[in-house]
Amino acid sequence: MMVTKLQKIISKIEKRHSKKIDLSLDRTFNLLNKLGNPQNKIKNVVTVVGTNSKASMATALSAILKEAGFKYNLYTSPHLQSYTERFVFNNEEIDENNLAILLEDVDRVLANDNATVFEILTCAFIKYAENFKDNVNIIEAGLFHRFDSTNVFKQNLLTLIGVIHLDHLNWLDNKTIDGVIYEKTSALPTSNIFVNNQMNSEIKIKIKKSLIENKSKKYFFGDDFNVAKSENSFIHYQDELGEIMLPQPNLIGDHQIYNISTSIAATRKIFDISDSNIKNSMKKMRLKGRLEEIKSGKLKSLIGENRLIIDGGHNINSAISISNWVKQQNEKVHLICGMMNDKPHKEFVNQFENSVNSITLIDIPNQEGSISKEEFKKKLGNKNIHTAESIEESLMLNNKDKNCIFLCAGSLYLAGEVLNLN
């Protein structure tokens, strides 16, 4: 396989710092200073934080803005197939060659100083965003927020807070929900904060408590805006500005309705966007690897008329959301699952025991940090769970069934490999 220019520069950058994650802002500010402090020159910054739903909220927000004629830049992570997915400027994903040139330039400026890959990527995005000063800059935090390299802006237009729950606890001293909430919300700049629907009222109360000294205007799902499915398959959205009847969004799953509503609340309040723009955007939202249906390609051809769905969800909250969607389906559902070593394996799979017709475990190809299917099965202790040697084999195990769904879930890396194979 030919190694591209982008792959070469990424490989070079990876060798700079032994840790993929190293929570600190010192290296980021050092690099930004060398780049001329672009974080102080761009405007209209939208901060997106949370354990789940960050990508969905960012996708919904960008789709609405685009429909209304706004220009935006978008920074997300991780990617599924290419680093270019993380970089959107002027409403378009950057191409590989331009990203390679951008990263080479930033790496040259960094010289002999140290920085993680994520820090370099973040600084590169901010530097390039200087070219589009008047655009809305939607920036998704990587891990938590307080010491994340995206937390470098003095001014902020608005913040979207997604679903918060326990995850990535190995990076925290305070391994409680209070600790997670503190890391994600305590350092948010003063602006306008919109908070998504939470798993329970206790978490919502804790978020309110964490934000009590923040002077931002705050808008909470359930208090300041709301959404509900109507009997005619439309969505009923409501806030202080009035009601909107919306078509079903292009994003699958009831949980996406809450995510979208948070972005709608922000666009109506901050950008004064028309109801018609919001309505028209609903069918134009695209998000890879989140209950995404694969409708063509090599893997789809293996299963004929059966459906192939991928989701990168890898924590308990994701499993609950995916399982709720599974329960609404009229077809048999076969779960194909691969996960990374540091994820809640048993707790994740347990959410599907009463909702799917079979569970098959696989190794995630090309991922050293993934749990082996044998160790995975051992952890689960369930003799009825199958294993397969490859994604292709896992699809063929139950392909005698007709009108069924093959659901690949448990990791964004697995979702990416499915897309690569297809």
Share of the chain above pLDDT 90, in %: 82
Please give the pLDDT value at position 295: 94
pLDDT of residue 60: 97
Check if the beta carbon of residue 159 is closer than 8 Å to that of residue 215: no
For residue 378, what are the contacts with CB-CB under 8 A and spacing of at least 6? none
Is 292-421 a CATH 3.90.190.20 domain? yes
Q: Which residue has the higher pLDDT, 150 or 231?
A: 150
391, 417 contact by CB (below 8 A):
yes
Angle at 225 between CA 265 and CA 285, to 5 degrees: 40
Q: Where in the chain is the domain with CATH 3.40.1190.10?
A: 5-284
Q: Establish whether the linkage from the previous residue to 78 is cis, with ω within 30° of 0.
A: yes
Q: Across residues 221-244, what is the average pLDDT? A: 92
The pLDDT of residue 167: 63
Residue 162 pLDDT level (bands cut at 50, 70, 90) = very high
Q: In the chain, pLDDT over 70 holds for what percent of residues?
A: 97
- Kindly tell me if the per-residue pLDDT of 122 is higher than 60: yes
User: Does 19 have pLDDT greater than 80?
Assistant: no
**Gap between the Cα atoms of 185 and 183, Å rounded:** 6
pLDDT (average), residues 269-280: 95
Asked whether the predicted pLDDT for residue 70 surpasses 80, the reply is yes
DSSP secondary structure code for residue 269 in this structure: I
- The confidence score (pLDDT) of residue 174 equals 62
Residue 84 buriedness (CB in 10 A; 0-12 / 13-18 / 19+): middle
Q: What is the mean pLDDT of the chain?
A: 93
Per-residue confidence band for 274, with pLDDT thresholds at 50, 70 and 90: very high
Q: What is the mean pLDDT of residues 353-361?
A: 93
pLDDT recorded at residue 17? 75
Q: Is 80 exceeded by the pLDDT of residue 264?
A: yes
- Residue 381 is predicted with a pLDDT of 85
- What is the reported pLDDT for 229? 87
Structure confidence at residue 169 (pLDDT)? 55
- What does the pLDDT average to over 39-68? 96
16 vs 215, residue with greater confidence: 215
Please determine, for residue 20, whether its predicted confidence score (pLDDT) is greater than 80. no
Class of domain 5-284: alpha beta
Contact between 193 and 211 (Cβ < 8 Å):
yes
Q: Quick one: which of 247, 239, 245, 234 has its CA closest to 268?
A: 239
DSSP 132: G
Whole-angstrom distance, CA of residue 349 vs CA of residue 363: 15
**Alpha carbon of 303 to those of 20, 252, 258, 325: distances in Å?**
37, 21, 32, 21
Q: Which amino acid is at 181?
A: I
Instruction: Provide the pLDDT for residue 42.
Output: 94
Residue 3 pLDDT class (50, 70, 90 cuts): confident
Model confidence pLDDT, tens digit, residues 313-345: 999 989 999 999 999 999 999 999 999 998 999
pLDDT score recorded for residue 1: 55
What is the mean predicted confidence (pLDDT) over 180-206?
Answer: 94
Positions of CATH 3.90.190.20 in the chain:
292-421
Q: Does 18 score more than 80 pLDDT?
A: no
